[in-house]
Amino acid sequence: MARWWMVATCALTVGAGTARAQHLLVPMDDAQANHLKAYGVTFTALVDGVRSEWLLNYRGGSFLLPDVPNLRRAAALAGVTFEAVGPDRVQEMRREISEGNMDAVPLEKAPRIAVYTPPDSPPWDDAVTLALTYAGIKYEKIWDDDVLDTDLSQFDWIHLHHEDFTGQANKLFLGFRDAPWFIQARDRDLAMARTHGLADIPALKKAVADRLRAFVERGGFLFAMCGATETLELALASKGVDIAGPFADGTPMDPDADAKMQWDRSFAMQGARLEFAGGVNSMSDIDGHQVNVAARRQPLGTYTLFGFSAKFDPVATMLVQDHRTVIADYYGVTTSFMRKVLKPGVTVLAHEEGAPWAKYIHGSYGLGSWTYLGGHDPEDPQHNIGAPPTDLALHPNSPGYRLILNNVLFPAAKKKPLKT
């Protein structure tokens, strides 16, 4: 990857005559008391228009902020560890960064964040909304109406989580078709489809998927977890093909669906095989763990983050900043991504050693980019429907949740102008 991110070359100052240091170093190694809220403090700096820096591979991906009263106060109230550093220490850090596998990336503008989430409360949590709320990062909720009727370019970053973009409701009808929340969601989505002149729920969700594809193609950043990863790929590739079958409205699935899939329209996958058998709660062979198929369910292990060159692969490096390189795995409707169906050019950010699947992947599409993280909740390995939301106050140093928040800050990094 070409080096297209600006390197900071000078220290930030807060004015002459102040007794404060010129910078606050927010360490992100084991010295940090609250890793997750450290992202919130950095985001606050960007909201306030304060230029900051992300020190890639330096002490776990630390942040360098100007020493201003608002940020000191925010860090102290959040329980975030910070160190006041003067000009001499900053210059020493810069020398160390320039000589090693590190880089300093300016963070200039707070990204405008949207989370695609249903208007009611489904019986599962969303790890990203939990992370954003705990860190104190503001976001806007959007749903089908917003995606179909508004200009998505008002957002820089959109998150998708548990939703099924094929319109099959994650095949949850097998075990939950009589549950009040399932009936409510089905009726809500069908009414939404009819409002937009669409025949059924699969048509509605595919229309939403197409709009999200256009958002990325025009320069947006898309982050997805859990079932949204796999089903978005299937929805995009199945334009004009019936893959929903009786899991949606009783119509038969196209028997030639596999052959008709248009994988050139998808972000990450190609050549995946659809799953369509009575009583099998699986979408395709994309997921390596098949959490809802007992005969093929794989045990949880650990996954390892790849180490990238900060100077030559800054994007991938930003996305894997962490104080741990090996992280305990966790299930989701889609837990992992089989390597055999990944498109050429997809960057594998994390994988399980010796396994045929990846956990965390990234790539570009058009003018934008996407990132997929398998699993539902980094601190809830089993992902049981109806379980209470994870209390992040009990996990302030979660390495898995850090990956989510890396993606939140990624769009704030300054892009280096291309040479002409």
pLDDT tens per residue, range 300-345: 999 999 999 999 999 999 999 999 999 999 998 899 999 999 999 9
Q: What is the 3-state secondary structure (H, E, C) of 313-355?
A: CHHHHHHCCCCCCEEECCCCCCCCEEHHHECCCCEEEEECCCC
Residue with the bigger pLDDT between 417 and 406: it is 406
pLDDT tens per residue, range 26-46: 999 999 999 999 999 999 999
- Cα(147)–Cα(208) distance, integer angstroms: 6
Report the share of the chain in percent with pLDDT over 90: 70
Mean pLDDT score, 156-166: 91
Mean pLDDT score, 363-384: 94
Burial of residue 397 (number of CB atoms within 10 Å: 0-12, 13-18, 19+):
middle
Mean pLDDT score, 226-230: 94
Mean pLDDT of the chain: 88
Q: What is the pLDDT of residue 388?
A: 86
Query: Lowest-pLDDT range, 95-109, 228-242, 406-420?
Result: 406-420
pLDDT tens per residue, range 52-78: 999 999 999 999 999 999 999 999 999
Helix H or strand E segment including 221: strand 221-225
CA distance readout (Å), 304 to 323, 332, 336, 350: 12, 18, 13, 5
Residue with the bigger pLDDT between 122 and 273: it is 273
User: Is residue 295's pLDDT more than 70?
Assistant: no
pLDDT level of residue 293 (50, 70, 90 thresholds): confident
Contact status, residue 376 vs residue 289, Cβ threshold 8 Å: no
Mean pLDDT score, 364-372: 97
- Cα(97)–Cα(111) distance, integer angstroms: 26
Q: What is the pLDDT of residue 236?
A: 97
Strand 52-56 and strand 62-66: pairing? antiparallel
pLDDT tens per residue, range 229-246: 999 999 999 998 888 765
Residue with the bigger pLDDT between 12 and 392: it is 392
Instruction: List the chain domain ranges.
Output: 23-107, 113-412
User: Is residue 248's pLDDT more than 60?
Assistant: no
Q: What is the pLDDT of residue 170?
A: 67
Q: What is the pLDDT of residue 75?
A: 97
The pTM is what? Answer: 0.91
Helix H or strand E segment including 64: strand 62-66
How far from the centroid of its chain's Cα atoms is residue 326's Cα? 18
| 3-state secondary structure at position 255 | coil
Burial 265-299 (b: 16+ CB within 10 A, else e): ebbbbbebebbbeeeebbbbbbbbbbbbeeeeebe
Q: Which residues contact 69 (CB under 8 A, 6 or more apart)?
A: none
How far from the centroid of its chain's Cα atoms is residue 92's Cα? 34
How far from the centroid of its chain's Cα atoms is residue 401's Cα? 10
Class of domain 113-412: alpha beta
